[in-house]
Amino acid sequence: MKFVIAGGTHEAEYIVSMFHKKGNSLVIINPSREEAEILRERENLSVYVGAPWKNISFEESGAENADIFISLCERDTDNYASCMMAKNAYGAKKCICLVNNPNNVELYRSLGIDSVISSTYLLGDSVKASASVEDIIKAISLENNQVAMIEATLLRRFRITGKRIMDAGFPKYASISCIVRGDEVIIPNGQVVLQAKDKLLMVCSPLDQARLTAFIQTRKSEEEERLEEEALSRLMGQDEEPAVVEVQKPAPVKKAPAKKPAAKKAAAPKSSAKAPAKKAAPKKKSTKKGE
């Protein structure tokens, strides 16, 4: 692939380092002598110093027939002119340009530039996307809005939290690219158990964005929530409600009360799932103990 990178400072350095590898040929044009010097030193590449919208720059730097022409100049109109020159006079296949004014994104596209990027525009897009859901969901769009990347932080109350990915019923129209858990990055497989506070990075079509976020945010049913609460309390070795009962009884026997409620609690959810049953259980305990 032949890349031409025109103008820019840090962005140019980043893009140059990204594509500077075997199989790619890079032509770098920069109007600033200082910036050209930096690029030359960092990447050990020759840099043509000149204005990327001038035909002499194209001819002297050998920027003709690029597969991808990327224009990163400061002024929007300079990027526009550079892309027009690349595309219409020097056979560039694809032109990408950066703009500062977000109003120019649609306009430049309609005037024939293949891809127009504005950080303000992307920011606006993601604000729009996140305002419609909750702030735990972030979204950006890639490839001219053909791909949406969604970041969602899992809350305990979400239905999929605590499940293995293979059991979560994850929809086919989206895929989890990776999971960020604290400092760890997990490349997911079916066995990975989703945990609260996990950040899921997912890709899908922008059309499916709304139903994907709805899926992620589906809450656990009351029953599921209660089951989980109980499982958790079993792990902790105590429960809020029976605790009252235990407080009344701890003195006489030490080990018995701790074991008995635990066994009954474990049995309760299996036999009946309704809330009243749960309340009934501790009552029975207290009567038994009283006898």
What residues make contact with other proteins under the rule CB under 8 A? 53-55, 75-78, 80-81, 84-85, 88-89, 101, 103-104, 107, 110-111
Nearer of residues 99 and 150 to other proteins, judged by Cβ = 99
- Any bridge partners for residue 27, and if so which? 4
Nearer of residues 54 and 260 to other proteins, judged by Cβ = 54
Whole-angstrom Cα distance, residue 238 to residue 25?
Answer: 66
Q: Which of 134, 109, 94 is nearest to 2 (CA)?
A: 94
DSSP label at 234? H
Nearer of residues 76 and 125 to other proteins, judged by Cβ = 76
Closest approach, Cβ 61 to other proteins, in A, equals 15
Closest approach, Cβ 162 to other proteins, in A, equals 49
How far from the centroid of its chain's Cα atoms is residue 291's Cα? 59
List helix spans (H) across 44-183.
55-61, 76-84, 104-110, 119-132
| CB-based contact 260:287 (threshold 8 Å) | no
Closest approach, Cβ 128 to other proteins, in A, equals 18
- Any bridge partners for residue 201, and if so which? 151, 178
Nearer of residues 81 and 136 to other proteins, judged by Cβ = 81
Q: Which residues, other chains included, contact 125 with Cβ-Cβ below 8 Å and sequence gap of 6+?
A: 139, 140, 141
Token output for 110 = 């309609």
| CB-based contact 209:129 (threshold 8 Å) | yes
Closest approach, Cβ 117 to other proteins, in A, equals 17
Whole-angstrom Cα distance, residue 16 to residue 18?
Answer: 5
How far from the centroid of its chain's Cα atoms is residue 120's Cα? 18
Nearer of residues 84 and 160 to other proteins, judged by Cβ = 84
Closest approach, Cβ 48 to other proteins, in A, equals 17
Closest approach, Cβ 116 to other proteins, in A, equals 13
Q: Which helix (H) or strand (E) holds 4?
A: strand 2-6
Nearer of residues 72 and 194 to other proteins, judged by Cβ = 72
Nearer of residues 103 and 205 to other proteins, judged by Cβ = 103
Nearer of residues 85 and 202 to other proteins, judged by Cβ = 85
Whole-angstrom Cα distance, residue 99 to residue 73?
Answer: 9
DSSP label at 90? S
Closest approach, Cβ 107 to other proteins, in A, equals 5
- Strands in 194-253 per DSSP E: 199-204
Closest approach, Cβ 123 to other proteins, in A, equals 18
